[in-house]
Amino acid sequence: QVQLVESGGDSVESGGSLRLSCVASTYTFNTFCMGWFRQAPDKERERVASIGRDGIATYADFVKDRFTISLDSAKNTVYLEMNDLKPEDTATYYCGAGPPYRGVNCTNPSDYWGQGIQVTVSS
């Protein structure tokens, strides 16, 4: 069973920054594609960013140049650094994992999910 533990959600003013963390098991971290998704009320879940163990990241256009996804192998942790936050970034953010990394870009790591954490950006 894949367990993903997220932290770092908070309320922040528009223009502020947050860093989300997702801690996985060593096996999960070293095996699967990883990423972050978000879901606002009454909207479908959407991919924010994803990354493989090769460190190659992909981003949704709506967060391009504002968010950065990264890996810390020493801590089995995937980070999402969010800068210049906007009210439309308000959502529940989910860490996702899978499918297994196979030497290609990870574009939809959505086989397993964390519990979700709330990010609220005030105007």
- Condensed to tens digits (0 to 9), the pLDDT of residues 82-101 reads 999 999 999 999 999 989 98
The answer on pLDDT for 105 being more than 80 is no
Whole-number pLDDT of residue 93:
98
**Do residues 27 and 74 touch, judged by C-beta distance below 8 A?**
no
Q: What percent of the chain has pLDDT over 70?
A: 100
The pair of three-digit structure tokens given for residue 49, joined into one six-digit string: 């960013």
Q: What percent of the chain has pLDDT over 90?
A: 87
Whole-number pLDDT of residue 1:
79
Beta-ladder partners of 22: 6, 78
Which three-class secondary structure state does DSSP give residue 23? strand
Across 4-108, the runs of DSSP E, i.e. the strands, are: 5-7, 11-13, 18-23, 32-39, 46-51, 57-59, 67-72, 77-82, 91-100
The answer on pLDDT for 107 being more than 90 is no
Whole-number pLDDT of residue 102:
86
- Condensed to tens digits (0 to 9), the pLDDT of residues 14-30 reads 999 999 999 999 999 99
Whole-number pLDDT of residue 103:
78
